[in-house]
């Protein structure tokens, strides 16, 4: 499927050291791989139980109940699909006035970024984010240069530390943008652990603590950096809303794709179980076939789990907006 390719590209993103496997499961991993692994795990466990004789599958009545439950469960997932589509549509159904207001506010923000950078902002999320990152890095470096010899030593050290942290972070973002695809999640994933609430707080503290000792030009430069950091947070929150709409729409489509075969497989298994003399095949085939049918039957639930896990993680890590932060948003 076309959107699965974007998941593959996302697999090269953030997440290092001991946290990399967790990061892969929560965010960067291909959702189909995670769902297929989970469903295959269910099937493998039941296969081992049946082959080992611990669950010999001699009595077919429990299987009848199990596959009936899978059918009803997958029909419930179809209801979930309808609810997801209603959620997405509710955000899209607006009056002309509401659409005009939203477009005007979005255009105003875009023009604000273009005015600061003196460049035309790209239409793609990745290109726009890169422009904001370059603008912020430039203003941070400008602040660092202006503060040399013009502010007290302790304020200079604090500003230098802040600007170094900001520059390093935006160098990382710029490198990831250059090496990544243009998908909305690829863009958003670069900023999930980017929160500058502490940097803004420290810059404001420098202004309050040193007051008249900070020249006007340095004070203005601090204000410019704070504005650029806020622009980055606005862009991140906007891209998050775009991503969630895309992801929920994609999830509803994929659940339909997976749900129909799952229901069909469970119904076929029930038809086999209705034979008076039992299934028309021997125990070796039975020991493999029924666990396989279970794996197919639980795949839609596993797919729902994989996608909701990522959307919930993204929402948690972008819950606070500037000037606030949460422990989950700290790198």
% residues pLDDT > 90 (the chain): 27
- Do 174 and 134 touch, CB atoms closer than 8 A? yes
The 3-class secondary structure across the chain, one letter per residue, is CHHHHHHHHHCCCCCCHHHHHHHHHHHHCCHHHHHHHHHHHHHHHHHHHHHHCCCCCCCCHHHHHHHHHHHHHHHHHHHHHHHHHHHHHHHHCCCHHHHHHHHHHHHHHHHHHHHHHCCCCCCCHHHHHHHHHHHHHHHHHHHHHHHCCCCCHHHHHHHHHHHHHHHHHHHHHHHHHHHCCCCHHHHHHCCCCCCCHHHHHHHHHHHHHHHHHCCHHHHHHHHHHHHHHHHHHHHHHHHHHHHHHHHHHHHHHHHHHHHHHHHHHHHHHHHHHCCCCCCCCCHHHHHHHHHHHHHHHHHHHHHHHHHHHHHHHHHHHCCCCCCCCCHHHCC
Q: What residue segments make up the domains of the chain, in order of their start?
A: 2-7+19-93+251-329, 96-244
What confidence tens digit (pLDDT) does each residue in 152-190 have?
A: 888 889 999 999 989 988 888 888 777 766 677 877 887
What confidence tens digit (pLDDT) does each residue in 102-143 have?
A: 889 989 999 999 998 889 988 888 888 889 988 999 999 999
Residue 311 is predicted with a pLDDT of 92
Tens-binned pLDDT, residue by residue, of the chain (331 aa): 445 444 444 443 444 344 688 889 998 899 999 999 999 999 999 899 888 878 777 777 888 888 999 999 898 888 888 787 777 777 777 788 888 888 899 899 999 999 988 899 888 888 888 899 889 999 999 998 998 888 888 888 999 999 998 998 888 888 877 776 667 787 788 778 777 888 888 888 988 888 788 888 989 999 999 999 998 888 888 888 889 888 988 898 899 899 999 999 999 988 887 776 666 666 777 788 888 999 999 999 999 999 999 999 998 888 877 777 777 666 5
Q: Flag whether the pTM goes above 0.85.
A: no
What confidence tens digit (pLDDT) does each residue in 276-287 have?
A: 666 666 677 778
């Amino acid at each position: 499927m076309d959107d699965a390719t974007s998941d593959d590209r996302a697999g090269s993103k953030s997440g290092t050291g001991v946290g990399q496997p967790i990061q892969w499961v929560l965010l960067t991993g291909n959702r189909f791989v995670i769902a297929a692994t989970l469903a295959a795990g269910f099937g493998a466990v039941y296969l081992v139980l049946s082959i080992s004789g611990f669950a010999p599958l001699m009595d077919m009545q429990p299987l009848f109940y199990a596959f009936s439950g899978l059918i009803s469960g997958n029909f419930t997932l179809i209801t979930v699909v309808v609810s997801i589509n209603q959620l997405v549509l509710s955000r899209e159904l607006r009056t002309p006035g509401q659409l005009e207001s939203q477009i005007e506010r979005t255009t105003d923000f875009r023009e604000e970024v273009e005015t600061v950078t003196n460049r035309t902002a790209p239409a793609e999320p990745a290109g726009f984010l890169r422009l904001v990152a370059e603008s912020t890095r430039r203003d941070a470096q400008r602040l660092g240069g202006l503060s040399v010899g013009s502010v007290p030593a302790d304020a200079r050290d604090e500003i230098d530390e802040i600007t170094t942290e900001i520059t390093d972070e935006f160098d990382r973002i710029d490198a990831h943008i250059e090496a990544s695809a243009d998908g909305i999640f690829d863009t958003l994933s670069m900023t999930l652990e980017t929160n500058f609430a502490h940097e803004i707080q420290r810059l404001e503290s420098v202004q309050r603590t040193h007051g008249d000792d900070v020249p006007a030009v340095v004070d203005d430069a601090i204000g410019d950096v704070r504005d650029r950091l806020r622009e980055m947070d606005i862009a991140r929150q906007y891209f998050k809303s775009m991503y969630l709409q895309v992801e929920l729409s994609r999830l509803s489509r994929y659940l339909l794709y997976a749900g129909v075969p799952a229901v069909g497989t469970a119904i076929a298994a029930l038809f086999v179980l209705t034979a008076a003399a039992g299934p028309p095949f021997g125990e070796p085939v039975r020991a493999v076939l029924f666990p396989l049918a279970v794996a197919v039957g639980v795949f839609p639930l596993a797919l729902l789990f994989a996608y909701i896990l990522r959307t919930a993680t993204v929402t948690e890590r972008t819950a606070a907006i500037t000037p606030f932060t949460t422990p989950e948003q700290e790198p």
